[in-house]
Amino acid sequence: MPHSPAPRRVLGLDLGGTNIKTTVLEVADSDVTSARHLDGTTVATYATRGPGGVIDRLVEVAQEAIAATPAAAPPIAAVGLGIPGLFDHGSGVAQLLPNLPGDWDGQPIRGPIAAALGLPVTLINDARAFALAEGTLGAARGCPTVVCLTLGTGIGGGVLIDGEVRLGAFGTAGELGHQTADPDGARCGCGNRGCVEALAQASVLCAQAGRGSVEEVVAAADAGDERALAAIARAADAIGIAIANAYHVLGPDRVVLGGGIATAGDTILEPIREAVRRRATLVPRRGIDIVPAELGARAGAIGAGIAAAQALVRAR
């Protein structure tokens, strides 16, 4: 009789400062590239309730998703949680969550959620979750080496090699936004000077263009506004440095850009591509393949779910 692997379901959660996004994935056996994403929801985080309140909220949201699973479907076997910052991979304790109010440093995250749900919980940085999703099911599916950047409030990143997010020795591998692009540049939230994030995140782009949002900057640039075009050129140059460095270090088959800046389209993407072509001099021009993300706003939740599914396979 042919082997017919039982499908499993996992829940992906993406914790943001404003919303928690959820998605349910169904995975046939151990092959995460076959995962299908089913229903998803977006609910308020209530981040001002502080760490304890947010942990309770995550548990509540997960319990609702678990309860909504149809009786005939496989039950949810694990939970993945994407978080906007850094944590200790061994202990599941938060280290740096700059975009959530309250004192998160030292706050246990994985332990209390796993205990409340009675399920294994896998934590993953939200940009690394984005990379895992886009590299497995999205714009870079099938590519062996993938570099992803999220260009928005901050600049996050992730590196995927042979289907696995590479976390490095400290869980910080893939922090492409904290490469130094200007040795004497503006102070970054990380403490360094001149990081790509400090030069090219959305707030800096908008301030330099004198506009209130990335959409307004793009509309002004499309209408020929010189200040907006100059602001985009500066941001694109800094992002181009980050990506050109990644080309020389990792040689990615494809680079995927997500977040509010990337979804603004070719007005920003083309100057970024041009900056990379100018700097990644040892890479064949035809090899420079920089594309927008495909999975939309739910990519982080999908990636968290994939991380949970991979952890289940490893635990067998």
What does the binding site for Zn ion look like in residue numbers (CB under 5 A)? Answer: 178, 188, 190, 192, 195
- 283 within 8 A of 251, measured Cβ to Cβ: yes
Q: Tokens in use for 278?
A: 């100018």
| Sole residue written with tokens 């590479």 | 166
Nearer to Zn ion by Cβ, of 9 and 178: the residue is 178
Nearer to Zn ion by Cβ, of 80 and 194: the residue is 194
HSE-up of residue 207 (Cα within 13 Å, Cβ side): 8
Nearer to Zn ion by Cβ, of 20 and 196: the residue is 196
For residue 282, count CB atoms less than 10 angstroms from its CB and return exposed for 0-12, middle for 13-18, buried for 19 or more: exposed
- Closest separation in Å from C-beta 201 to Zn ion: 10
Strands (E), the chain: 7-15, 19-28, 36-44, 76-83, 86-88, 93-96, 121-125, 145-151, 155-161, 164-165, 254-258, 290-292
- Closest separation in Å from C-beta 207 to Zn ion: 17
- Closest separation in Å from C-beta 90 to Zn ion: 24
Nearer to Zn ion by Cβ, of 121 and 200: the residue is 200
- Closest separation in Å from C-beta 149 to Zn ion: 14
Nearer to Zn ion by Cβ, of 99 and 192: the residue is 192
- Closest separation in Å from C-beta 27 to Zn ion: 35
- Closest separation in Å from C-beta 238 to Zn ion: 12
DSSP of 166-232: --TTTS-TT-GGGSBS-TT-PBPTTS-BSBHHHHHSHHHHHHHHT-SSHHHHHHHHHTT-HHHHHHH
Nearer to Zn ion by Cβ, of 27 and 188: the residue is 188
- 299 within 8 A of 133, measured Cβ to Cβ: yes
**Three state DSSP letters for 158-173:** EEEECCEECCCCCCCC
